[in-house]
Every structure is written in structure tokens, then in C-alpha cells.
Amino acid sequence: MNITNFLVVIPTSIETNRLMSKISIDNQTGCWNWTGYIDAGGYGRIMYRNHQESAHRVFYAWKVKKLPRGKSKYIPQLDHLCNNRQCCNPEHLELVSLKENILRGNSPSAKHARQTHCKNGHLLPKEFNYFKPNRKGVRICKICAYEHERSPERKIAQRKARLIRENGPRRKELLKNHREQEKARRNKLKHLAKTP
């Protein structure tokens, strides 16, 4: 796919002064913090040649190279290497694919992707080993899954559930639900066992 729409920034001396007057350099981090308007997402905003722009994008387009506009999996996005959204230092910015950008962020899926060990300290598999019904891949710790399966708590819960099922008034319905649940659980474990 060809990208046809770019943000190009070649400022005049007046525009250069205006851009730099909104920057406060943090000597500790090297971040060029935007002191102008900040949007709800925490990014600096600026009017440049009658266009609302993200401040960090304007600086990158000015100091490094023109920037593709728009959002799709084909269009690389500008990522803050310093994780500071107000920062406009071109050296703290990098063009990456949208997927890479999401994985680098702080969303639960991003954190999960970076995680190397489960909450009990076992090494997690590098690849997804279980796919949810909505097709999102997740990694499950096989040691924890195995131990949970054999834990006394689970055994007690199973016994209790069996008693209710076999003697309760909603016997038929509960038995049916139980069979379906067990089938799903077995399939999940089968899937886990198959992957190395």
C-alpha cells in the first residue's frame, strides 16, 4: 500500500521560534517537554499551518523526516522511547508499526507480551499456547495449570458440585452444563499438552 498523505514540516524562522518557545528541556532525562496545550491523551497539540497536529509529530517531521498520516496496520506510528507523551525530542521518538507500538505500551496485552514468568515464577512459553474463543492468543503456565488441576481445593469443589448435581432439583440441567464445561476444559488441556 502506498502512503500518499504526509506531514511535512519546514518551518520559517517565526514558526521555529514559536515551536521552540513551547519546549522546556529536562536536563535529567533529556526530554523536550511540551509546555503548550496538552490533550486528554496526554499528548501536546499545536496548530501548524492551519492544521491541528500532535506536537511530537511536528518535531519529528521537522528534525528527522516527513511523517505518514492516518492509522492502519500499514502506516507506521511514532513511538515515545522515553514513555513521556509530552516529549518532543526527536531522538526519543521512533517510527514503528502499529502492532509493535501497542505491544510496547502499558496495556494489559502489552504487559502480558513482555512478561517472561508467571505470577508464581515459572518460565512462560515464548509463543501463545492457548487461544480464547474470541481468537486472542494467551500464554498459560503449564506448571500452574497442572497444579491447579490436582489441587485439594479443586477436588473439594468438584465433590461439592457433584453432590448438588446428583441430588438437586435442577439435576438434568446441571448435569448437561457440567458435561459441556468438562468437555471445554479437556479440550483446553489437550491443546496445552500438544504445544511444546
Which residues make up the interface to Zn ion (CB under 5 A)? 31, 82, 84, 87, 89, 92, 118, 120, 122, 141, 143-144
Closest CB to Zn ion among residues 118, 175: 118
CB 140, CB 130: distance < 8 Å: yes
Closest CB to Zn ion among residues 150, 172: 150
Least distance between Zn ion and beta carbon 108 (Å): 18
Closest CB to Zn ion among residues 57, 92: 92
Least distance between Zn ion and beta carbon 169 (Å): 40
| Residue 7 grid cell | 506531514
Contacts of 71 (CB under 8 A, 6+ apart): 77, 98
Closest CB to Zn ion among residues 46, 141: 141
Least distance between Zn ion and beta carbon 94 (Å): 11
Longest C-alpha distance within the chain, in Å?
Answer: 85
Cα separation of 92 and 5, whole Å? 24
| Residue 38 grid cell | 496538552
Least distance between Zn ion and beta carbon 150 (Å): 14
